[in-house]
Amino acid sequence: MPHPYDNKTKARIIGMHEAGVSLHKISGLTGIPKRSIQDIITQYNYCGTVQNLPSPGRKLILNECDIQQLNRVTQTQRCASLNKITNSITKEVSSQMVQRVLHEEGIFSRIAVVKPHLPPHHFSKHLAFARSHINWSVEVWKKVIGTDKRSFELAKTPTPTQGEQYSFDFQVAQHHSGHKPIMVWAGFCDIKQSPLVIMGPNAFQTQGFIDNVYSIRLLPFYNYLQQQQQVPQGQAFTHCEDNAPVHTSLLYCQWKDSQGIIKFTQFKSH
């Protein structure tokens, strides 16, 4: 609704309108755009007065300055808790209100993405690998069995916006905190996934990895996929994994060859 015009000007417009003066002529006499004149007339017909009525409902406790302060806190203190963010403003508001305002601003609490422990030349090799396989069809990738292991440990939660969670500014570096993380191994192919393996301390040695992971999880999963898809001879599934020492040792290569597992040719990490 029109706000900049005083009540005297709006009353003059209403008087000319009721006297039958056209909007075009009123606009020429007052210098006010016809759209604004129409809004003033609509307001008068709806409310019966030219005065601006008070806004309904409860006034917002947080103003624009408070919201900007909340944004600054989340930008400078990425891992600040909700209570700390709430206490950063002088007004007494609940943490639920602050959380709602942050959500409206597109700021959410998310688990930090762990930064890959790779030097710059590794990133270049990863990118080159992706570009060299960009023309592979979906059907070809469905014949690739990917396996990997991952450790899980509790960490602080940052507050990025929706499109920032994979930015380098919000990734946490891999480090040894002194706690004992849980190491989990799994294999996947297309939409199928192997059973998870909670790895014990001896599973990081080649023979232990073969006995506790490859023999009891990878090999049955590999054979299951071969039988399920009824793959013809010469079109077997391919196994893809990283170049950790346990995966490149002579003992593992001999075991893999004895089981007929074909390893996916990747770039070397070193």
**Bigger pLDDT: 203 vs 147:** 147
CATH number for domain 114-165+173-263, candidates 3.40.640.10, 3.90.1170.50, 3.30.420.10, 3.30.450.20: 3.30.420.10
> Residue 2's pLDDT band (boundaries 50, 70, 90)?
very low
Task: Calculate mean pLDDT across residues 252-270.
Answer: 75
Q: Dihedral (C-alpha) 98, 103, 108, 109: value to the nearest 10 degrees?
A: 40
Residue 159's pLDDT is 54
Residue 178's pLDDT is 55
pTM of the model: 0.47
Residues in the chain: 270
Residues 170 and 113: beta-carbon distance below 8 Å: yes
Q: Encode pLDDT of 162-184 as tens digits.
A: 556 556 555 555 555 555 667 88
| Cβ-based neighbours of 41, under 8 Å, separated by 6 or more | 13, 14, 17
What are the sequence ranges of the domains in the chain? 7-47, 64-104, 114-165+173-263
69 φ, ψ (degrees, to nearest 5): -65, -40
Residue 205's pLDDT is 82
Q: What's the alpha-carbon Rg for the chain, to the nearest Å?
A: 33
What percent of the chain has pLDDT above 90? 4
